[in-house]
Structure 1
Amino acid sequence: MQNKRSLLFFLLISVFGVLAFVPREDGGIEKLLASFQRWTDTNPQEKVYLHMDKPYYALGDTIWFKAYVTVSARHQLSAQSQALYVELINEHDSLIQTLKLPVIAGLGMGDFTLDDELNEGNYRIRAYTQWMRNAGEDYFFDKTFAVGSPGGDEVQAKVNYQYEIAKEKSIVVAHLNYKDDAGKPISDKRIRYELILNNKVIYSKESETDISGNMVVNLANDAALQSGTGFLRTTVYTTDGRKVIRTFPVKAALSQSDLQFFPEGGTLVSNVTSRIAFKATGVDGAGIFIRGMVVDQLGTEVISFESHHAGMGSFLLKPEPGKQYKAKVVYKDNSTAEVSLPAAQPEGYVLAVYQLDNDSLLLRVTASAGLTKNPGSLGLIAQSGGEMIYASKLLTSKQINSVTLPKKSFPTGIAQFTLFDYKNEPISERIVFIRNQDQMKVKIKTAKKSYNSKEKVEVELESTDPTGKPVAGNFSVAVIDESKVPIEEQMESTIFSNILLTSDLKGYIEKPNYYFTADNDTINKALDNLMLT
């Protein structure tokens, strides 16, 4: 698994390149801030969100979308870019079509037609401006969606992959499930399936669903499967004889579950208590449940732990000098593994951030005892989306330095806290998601609760700022029949989850909208674990 990195971190790295030409002298942090401000002024951080009319489509459909291009930590509509590039990409990463759309006051509109000659499968829409190319493709708008057969809505299918050992050989088990449009299992149904690798059919077989609509397919996890891009294609015949095809991508790097550990601030330091986050993923890249314990080199248990949402969790550890630590892990199927924790450094600093309540943040910098014998100066910077929120020098004459900051100083979204040494080199970094009551409030009302087919519906929309004062806005509305196009709210990519979360992070985020379905301790803890990993 690739560690997520914030786009804000990319901004600072770019500033360090500028600072390489700045003389090191007293007031170094002031020079860093000045260089940072010049860089952000000349390199605006744009983001793109596409509001699409449906969560998935059928061949022959037209994909309609409205584009929002924002800039800065306050997510205002951008006047910087006048053109938006939107690409339609198939599951083989082949470019199907590119649009260059005009952007007026941060807004644009467009559409793609899914030609009948295209194949079913998972497609992507990617969108970006020329300014966004400075940060790289990881920060483009990128959404994956399913495209099925016309009239094939009566067959709903999904797959989960598991890794197993059979006769001392590794296999990948595909657990397929089929339901009709009413949600009832398609049981006792003969289904043909094909394994296709690098556009070649490797083999074709038949199997039958059980009473729950389930079917199991075993794939040899050999060099052929891992050597290229592949997918599993299944064919179902409906009661009226029509053929419905469903395809499921097979990950090229199918392997055992992965577990990684991430010390808060980036480094473990001997005799300094640190929070260590972890992320456990299965063969399909999704989080999985684990439990386990940390032991030292003598096998003595130090602390136990277990994962929560999306295979993530965290625990506290105070590494002792000269000791090595590893995690003994038990997976849901009772298989076990041992994973070494990152080695602790003999000397160093640990940056920790705590959200004490709804109003304030506590920043704590802890130094190892040896570093306080020769006191020096550190720099601490807090920023969000290129907007500098806080900057200060810290003296290392004491082991713990604490700073309290009001949350209201930050916009809602990801904030980055970075600790610098006396040379203005970054030595520790922590990103935190901050919630504030700074969003527009929107109320929608209709004259009545239900309408007849083709009856005119008038919608009244009211938008206010957080204090209740009326505010102007630009909106888009997608209307769908949820009985025919069901959606899972946690899986969706909304303007909140995209602009405030995924657009600032590099790497796959599982169920991004989960973190915006409520504001409670469970979700906020899961969100902080996401920031730590």
Structure 2
Amino acid sequence: MKFNFTIFGLLLFIQSFSQTTNNQENIKNLVETYFHYDRENIYVQFNKTVYVNNEDLAFKGYVINKNKYLPDVNTTNVQLAIYNDQKKLVQKQLLYTALGVFEGGIHLNEKFSSGKYYFHFYTNWMNNFTEDESFIQTVEIINRNEPYYAQSKEPNWKSAKIEFFPESGKIINSITNKIGVKLTDCNRKGIKIIEGKVFDSKSKLITQFKTNEMGNGSFYLTPDNNEKYTVQIKTEKLNLIENLPSTQNKGLAISYNNNLSNNILAVVVKTNNAGLTLYQNKKLVLLLHQNGNSILKEFTFDANETEKTLRFDKTNLANGVNTIRVIDEGLNEVAERLIYIETDSKPEVTLEAKTIANDSLMLSVKNNSKKSNLSISILPENNTCITNKQSIIGTMRLNAYLDQPENETYPYFDNNNKTRKQDIELAILNQNKNKYLWSNIKSNPPKITYPSTQGITIKGNIEKKLNSNSKYKISLISMKNKVFEESMIDKNNLFTFENIYVHDSTIVLLQMTNEKNIAKNDKINAKVVVRDSTFVFQPKINLLDCPAIDNTNEPFSFAKLGLDKSIINLNDVVIKGDSKKTKLIHKEKNNMAKAFKITDKDFGNFLDYLSMYGGYRTGFSGTNNSVYIKNKLSDIVRDTDASPTVYIDDQEVFDLNFLFNLSIEEVDEIYIDKMGYSNTNPTGSGTIKIYLKNGMKNDIFQSKNASFMVTHGFTKEIDFSNAPFETAKEFNYFGTLSWTPKAEITTNNSFEIKSLKANQKEIQVLLEGFSEDGELISEIRKIPVSNL
């Protein structure tokens, strides 16, 4: 039989082409499958990072859909776990998130001892993925009764170390290798040097390098694998000698030129002669991707060809960190390199300050983005409470893809940093790998086992057996949270409310009705189903063990509270003037009772006010799940005293739980008669009569329906206020001039913020946020105000 070599060659070509095509399709499918599900990234701006333990700690959070780079409108539940410097959990919060933003904070007190605390933000949905997508912010809390030593800005010289990062992970023999150098201390603080040297085994100087403020540098080396190379750094404070990693006889390295005109990126894959025998005529695929967005090109090393150049249009690449991978015919990764692509310009933000009356400033903010949601902290010029400069851009575009995130990200995106692009190049060179490993992309796609939690779930039952022929439903009402939900009661007397958005410790009303909508007053039991969302990863808290150094800084000592009466604190500024005494409206019919007229200066919870001024013990009993009001002189141990009879607008309140969320700002007058003389139907220990201000509805307080306190609900946002500082020096070092978590730029692209000037010559402004179309906004500026 005659063999047709032409047909055989054609068949081989078709088979080879089919394999290559299928390989590219397989790689593309693997990437798209791995990143199919939406992922969340979180960034949280704190008003500062060092606090005295009588201050308010405040923050604003931003959630981005990582696949779309838009505010994540589907996320509602963000968990916060707070750890101390022993990695012990000290507090948890559930934070309500809407349109990709949330707010929160803590009123600090003496329970927070001095030390570092780690605020860990995450969602239950993040547990579905192999990579840690959560966010951690470190803050320091100071006890004002103890001397405070400010952290030195000098590196810890005793712990300085050198790390090396050859491009693509290997130093390959006889080709030009770019080798990254990272010089840091035990705090991961970068160390800048102006000269480092590379020597061979004969002490011959081969090349030199320097490092920037972040401790990153690089040099080029064409090695001989028969040589050993050392790096020496010798300065006034350092004397380090470190061996370079061993030279590999063969392998692939990836280089690139990211500075060509016309938005062209040139990627060079190179090897040596030994590597050529391994890779020659092999069908390799260069994969360039961020998340599921990918570009693939197939290439081959031809005879005697040790370099291959491939070009890409950068406008087709995603903004931020991308990964370049070389994949072989067996779908194995041969080489990897990170690259930062910057296709979008940073939004322009204009900040202007002008003086207004009473030593105040008006800060005008203009932005060329579309509708934006921002948070702004304004600090005194000498404030020492910014220990690291993070940014929303650095978190979302840079750290979200790094195996070892950068401590400080703002310098990489500060337009005033003239070397920022080179700094980014060095930062991503000095990374071992992308956080998304090819082995996981290839063999371990996400399996969705953790739901995206939405609100909380409340379940309960009716104690009395209901008529099976009737259709009963139950209503859940929270006036404070504007919640009105209905649920059917099943044949087992059970009911469920899903996706309920109420604050923790809220008293909610439960009302049962039949098919004719007639209220029934049978006993109702209810509780929140606790789905404590724990994080599957251990939070990345690095408790650094640094060698002791001599602290040359003088300790800062706080003045004793109340000693310096000449200082006017920010929350003590009051407009004084003559005013007429307000007449008590309901005094005549309560002439046997002690009267309290609520003024504009009174604020807080009604029960707290009653405990402070009314002579009662108030609170919430976990034993019977209800509010109590007791005489302060009653038997606390046996708790035998009855509660006083309470009226609101002369209607008796049968369920004291309704008082739990009553704000004193809603009340006009209170009359307390501990003897009960003013009570026409005495059933308790005295009477308390509450009269609400005009316009306040009292219908809910008259209901006799069931109520219970919500546990494990959403943490309420704090009303931020400045803490008292005894001296101007204390305030200038630690205080906050203004914190604005709800700043929105709408159609006119501007807004204004009022802030105290407080005799500042310069103010520090920290601004973070995003626009509705996903533009990230970050500014840290110093603005002169002395001449205003």
* Per-residue deviation, 1:435: 2.1
In structure 2, the residue corresponding to 1:491 is in which secondary structure? coil
Give the aligned partner of residue 318 of structure 2.
411
- Letter matched to residue 141 of structure 1: F
Question: Whole-Å Cα distance in 2 between the matches of residues 458 and 272 of structure 1?
Answer: 56
Instruction: Tell me if structure 2 keeps the 8 A contact 1:138–1:507.
Output: no
- Structure 2 residue aligned with 1:61, among 55, 58, 73? 55
* Per-residue deviation, 1:459: 4.8
Is 1:356 equivalent to 2:259 in the alignment? yes
**Percent of aligned pairs sharing the same letter:** 19
Instruction: Tell me if structure 1 keeps the 8 A contact 2:319–2:342.
Output: yes
- Letter matched to residue 116 of structure 2: N
In structure 1, the residue corresponding to 2:356 is in which secondary structure? coil
Shift in alpha-carbon separation, 1:532–1:460, aligned structure 2, 3 A: closer
Is 1:157 equivalent to 2:64 in the alignment? no
Instruction: Tell me if structure 2 keeps the 8 A contact 1:278–1:314.
Output: yes
Shift in alpha-carbon separation, 1:437–1:268, aligned structure 2, 3 A: same
* Per-residue deviation, 1:297: 3.0
- Structure 2 residue aligned with 1:449, among 351, 354, 367? 354
- Structure 2 residue aligned with 1:313, among 208, 217, 239? 217
* Per-residue deviation, 1:486: 5.0
Instruction: Tell me if structure 1 keeps the 8 A contact 2:58–2:106.
Output: yes
Is 1:395 equivalent to 2:282 in the alignment? no
* Per-residue deviation, 1:436: 2.6
Shift in alpha-carbon separation, 1:319–1:283, aligned structure 2, 3 A: same
Give the aligned partner of residue 287 of structure 1.
190
Which has the higher Rg, Structure 1 or Structure 2? 2
Is 1:144 equivalent to 2:144 in the alignment? no
Instruction: Tell me if structure 2 keeps the 8 A contact 1:138–1:506.
Output: no
Shift in alpha-carbon separation, 1:97–1:282, aligned structure 2, 3 A: same
Give the aligned partner of residue 429 of structure 1.
336
How big is each residue's C-alpha offset from its partner over 1:215-270, in whole Å with a ceiling of 9 and x where there is no partner?
xxxxxxxxxxxxxxxxxxxxxxxxxxxxxxxxxxxxxxxxx421111101111211
Question: Whole-Å Cα distance in 1 between the matches of residues 415 and 294 of structure 2?
Answer: 26
* Per-residue deviation, 1:333: 2.2
Instruction: Tell me if structure 1 keeps the 8 A contact 2:31–2:292.
Output: no
Instruction: Please state which structure has a larger fraction of its residues in strand.
Output: 1
- Letter matched to residue 68 of structure 1: Y
Listed as ranges, the gaps of 5+ residues in structure 1 are 1-22, 165-255, 465-470
In structure 1, the residue corresponding to 2:30 is in which secondary structure? helix
How big is each residue's C-alpha offset from its partner over 1:199-221, in whole Å with a ceiling of 9 and x where there is no partner?
xxxxxxxxxxxxxxxxxxxxxxx
Instruction: Tell me if structure 1 keeps the 8 A contact 2:354–2:362.
Output: no
Shift in alpha-carbon separation, 1:360–1:451, aligned structure 2, 3 A: farther
- Letter matched to residue 436 of structure 1: T
Question: Whole-Å Cα distance in 2 between the matches of residues 332 and 482 of structure 1?
Answer: 35
Give the aligned partner of residue 343 of structure 1.
246
Q: CA-atom RMSD, angstroms?
A: 3.0
How big is each residue's C-alpha offset from its partner over 1:145-195, in whole Å with a ceiling of 9 and x where there is no partner?
22224599x97722356455xxxxxxxxxxxxxxxxxxxxxxxxxxxxxxx
Instruction: Tell me if structure 2 keeps the 8 A contact 1:51–1:476.
Output: no
Instruction: Tell me if structure 2 keeps the 8 A contact 1:59–1:115.
Output: yes
Give the aligned partner of residue 296 of structure 1.
200
* Per-residue deviation, 1:388: 1.9
Give the aligned partner of residue 476 of structure 1.
374
Give the aligned partner of residue 412 of structure 2.
515
Using the size of structure 1 for normalisation, the TM-score is: 0.69
In structure 2, the residue corresponding to 1:158 is in which secondary structure? coil
- Structure 1 residue aligned with 2:393, among 484, 496, 512? 496
In structure 2, the residue corresponding to 1:33 is in which secondary structure? helix
In structure 2, the residue corresponding to 1:530 is in which secondary structure? helix
In structure 2, the residue corresponding to 1:119 is in which secondary structure? coil
- Letter matched to residue 122 of structure 1: K
* Per-residue deviation, 1:296: 2.6
Shift in alpha-carbon separation, 1:505–1:519, aligned structure 2, 3 A: farther
In structure 2, the residue corresponding to 1:126 is in which secondary structure? strand
Question: Whole-Å Cα distance in 2 between the matches of residues 82 and 262 of structure 1?
Answer: 40
- Letter matched to residue 34 of structure 2: W
Question: Whole-Å Cα distance in 1 between the matches of residues 337 and 156 of structure 2?
Answer: 33
* Per-residue deviation, 1:112: 2.4
Instruction: Tell me if structure 2 keeps the 8 A contact 1:443–1:463.
Output: no
* Per-residue deviation, 1:415: 1.3
- Structure 1 residue aligned with 2:283, among 377, 394, 397? 377
Shift in alpha-carbon separation, 1:298–1:486, aligned structure 2, 3 A: closer
Using the size of structure 2 for normalisation, the TM-score is: 0.48
Instruction: Tell me if structure 2 keeps the 8 A contact 1:314–1:529.
Output: yes
Shift in alpha-carbon separation, 1:439–1:480, aligned structure 2, 3 A: closer
- Structure 2 residue aligned with 1:105, among 92, 99, 103? 99
How big is each residue's C-alpha offset from its partner over 1:432-470, in whole Å with a ceiling of 9 and x where there is no partner?
22223354444456xx61123386958564443xxxxxx
Per mean C-alpha deviation after superposition, the further-off stretch among 419-428 and 70-79 is 70-79
- Deviating beyond 6 angstroms after TM superposition, the runs of 4 or more aligned structure 1 residues are none
In structure 2, the residue corresponding to 1:50 is in which secondary structure? strand
Is 1:72 equivalent to 2:66 in the alignment? yes
Question: Whole-Å Cα distance in 2 between the matches of residues 400 and 77 of structure 1?
Answer: 42
How big is each residue's C-alpha offset from its partner over 1:276-324, in whole Å with a ceiling of 9 and x where there is no partner?
0011122433222454322233333322223222222100111224333
Question: Whole-Å Cα distance in 1 between the matches of residues 200 and 120 of structure 2?
Answer: 46
Say which structure, 1 or 2, has more relative contact order (CA 8 Å, 6+ apart).
Answer: 2
In structure 1, the residue corresponding to 2:330 is in which secondary structure? coil
Shift in alpha-carbon separation, 1:519–1:424, aligned structure 2, 3 A: farther
* Per-residue deviation, 1:389: 3.6
- Structure 1 residue aligned with 2:423, among 526, 529, 533? 526
Question: Whole-Å Cα distance in 1 between the matches of residues 48 and 314 of structure 2?
Answer: 36
Instruction: Tell me if structure 1 keeps the 8 A contact 2:390–2:407.
Output: no
Give the aligned partner of residue 117 of structure 1.
111
Shift in alpha-carbon separation, 1:365–1:161, aligned structure 2, 3 A: closer
Question: Whole-Å Cα distance in 2 between the matches of residues 326 and 460 of structure 1?
Answer: 52
Per mean C-alpha deviation after superposition, the further-off stretch among 91-100 and 479-488 is 479-488
Give the aligned partner of residue 271 of structure 1.
174
Per mean C-alpha deviation after superposition, the further-off stretch among 326-335 and 87-96 is 326-335
- Structure 2 residue aligned with 1:90, among 84, 89, 99? 84
Give the aligned partner of residue 241 of structure 1.
none
Instruction: Tell me if structure 2 keeps the 8 A contact 1:272–1:350.
Output: no
Shift in alpha-carbon separation, 1:257–1:156, aligned structure 2, 3 A: closer
In structure 1, the residue corresponding to 2:376 is in which secondary structure? coil
Give the aligned partner of residue 126 of structure 1.
120
Instruction: Tell me if structure 2 keeps the 8 A contact 1:309–1:526.
Output: no
Shift in alpha-carbon separation, 1:457–1:370, aligned structure 2, 3 A: closer
Shift in alpha-carbon separation, 1:269–1:75, aligned structure 2, 3 A: same
Question: Whole-Å Cα distance in 1 between the matches of residues 113 and 160 of structure 2?
Answer: 31
How big is each residue's C-alpha offset from its partner over 1:373-396, in whole Å with a ceiling of 9 and x where there is no partner?
531111111112x13241111111
How big is each residue's C-alpha offset from its partner over 1:476-510, in whole Å with a ceiling of 9 and x where there is no partner?
3334342464565x932121222222233233524
Give the aligned partner of residue 39 of structure 1.
34
Question: Whole-Å Cα distance in 1 between the matches of residues 420 and 224 of structure 2?
Answer: 33
Shift in alpha-carbon separation, 1:441–1:523, aligned structure 2, 3 A: closer
**How many residue pairs align between the two structures?**
406
